[in-house]
Amino acid sequence: ILKGKTALVTGSTSGIGLGIAKALAEAGANLVLNGFGDAAAALAEVGRFGTEVRYHGADLGQAQQIAELMGFAGREFGGVDILVNNAGIQHVAPIDAFPPEKWDAVLAINLTAAFHTTRLALPHMKANNWGRIVNIASAHGLVASVNKSAYVAAKHGLVGLTKTVALELAKTGITCNAICPGWVLTPLVAQQIAARAQAKNISVDDAEAELLLEKQPSGAFVTPEQLGALALFLCSNAAAEVRGAAWNMDGGWTAQ
């Protein structure tokens, strides 16, 4: 259903972004991948669906590098039809011990980057009167947890940005929505599980179970494949009138 479309998924060398990139490629989209780590492995995984796949290693914390990434997508494919703002980082600390440079980095990568990619992707989308912008927020875009001030502020901000962009484009064929996942077992969360296991002197398995029990009523992790399927739906024509949603997939986290 996405044949002939080009998708950019930021932070797609790992975790949720990689899962979404695979779902979009499987549906026929050409892909621009981005993120740190093993680019060759991501290119191979997403490339196996037979569409055109490229990689650009822009640091999404740097506005200039975001402009270079968007220019690259334009040169390679003529522009971005589907923009998935997924790159994100976490830092956990009480606010009075929160390093200001970590605050700046979390806000830059999790929120400001989406502003830049969106404003730079829109001219091409408007010219075609078709586009899909999918922002990967979080359950923390809807509710808070202790010690995550920067992340919660950035994700609430991303939900706000999503609604504003959706309204500005409401009369066009371009939609903008957010997905709000609960716990997904990716490197970002594995790090938090390891820290918990160490702090409490418990096993990684016990720390994992504790983490889920605390927030996620299902007791099960959400998977990158499930999030890929939801992102694909939001990119479909059936979702043409889903606008400005903050759509949770969180095992019941925010229903409590």
Position among 79, 157, 181, 251 found at the interface with ligand NAD (CB under 6 A)? 181
Using rule CB under 6 A, residue 162 touches ligand NAD: no
**Part of the chain binding ligand NAD (CB under 6 A), chosen from 53-61, 72-80, 93-101, 234-242:** 53-61
- Please pick, from the candidates 24, 53, 87, 197, the single residue that binds ligand NAD as defined by CB under 6 A: 87
For residue 216, the tally of other CB atoms under 10 A from its CB is: 19
- Here the tokens at position 138 are 């979080």
Residues 184-203 that bind ligand NAD (CB under 6 A): 184, 186-189
- Determine whether 55 is an active site residue: no
Tokens of 23: 């779902």
In contact, 40 and 13? CB cutoff 8 Å: no
Joined together, the tokens standing for residue 187 give 């490197």
Least distance from ligand NAD to the Cβ atom of residue 119, Å: 18
According to the binding rule CB under 6 A, does residue 165 interact with ligand NAD? no
Burial class of residue 44 in the structure, from the number of CB atoms within 10 Å of its CB (0-12 exposed, 13-18 middle, 19+ buried): exposed
Cα–Cα distance measured from residue 186 to residue 189, given in angstroms and rounded to the nearest whole number: 5
Binding residue for ligand NAD, selected from 2, 20, 24, 61, defined by CB under 6 A: 61
Q: Which of 77, 103, 151, 253 is catalytic?
A: 151
Specify the stretch interacting with ligand NAD by CB under 6 A; choose among 44-52, 59-67, 91-99, 161-169. Answer: 59-67
Cβ(110)–Cβ(158) under 8 Å? Answer: yes
Distance CA 6, CA 80 (A): 5
55 lies in the binding site for ligand NAD (CB under 6 A): no
Give the contact letters, 118-137, x = binds to ligand NAD (CB under 6 A), - = no. Answer: ------------------x-
Which residues from 10-39 bind ligand NAD, rule CB under 6 A? Answer: 11-17, 34-37
Q: Binding of ligand NAD at residue 59 (CB under 6 A)?
A: yes
Round to whole Å and give the CA distance between 115 and 113. Answer: 5
Euclidean distance between CA atoms 112 and 60, whole angstroms: 9
The beta-strand segments (E) located in the chain are 6-9, 30-34, 53-56, 82-85, 131-136, 174-181, 246-249
The least distance separating ligand NAD from the CB of residue 89, rounded to whole angstroms, comes to: 5
Counted residue by residue, the chain has a size of 256
Of residues 11 and 79, the one with the C-beta less far from ligand NAD: 11
Residue 58 region by backbone torsions, left for phi larger than 0, else alpha for psi between -120 and 50, else beta: beta
Q: Which is nearer to ligand NAD, 138 or 177 (CB)?
A: 138
Using the rule CB under 6 A, give the single segment among 7-15, 92-100, 120-128, 167-175 that binds ligand NAD. 7-15
Coil, strand or helix at 131: strand
Binding interface with ligand NAD (CB under 6 A): 11-17, 34-37, 59-61, 86-89, 109-110, 136, 138, 181, 183-184, 186-189
Catalytic annotation, residues: 151
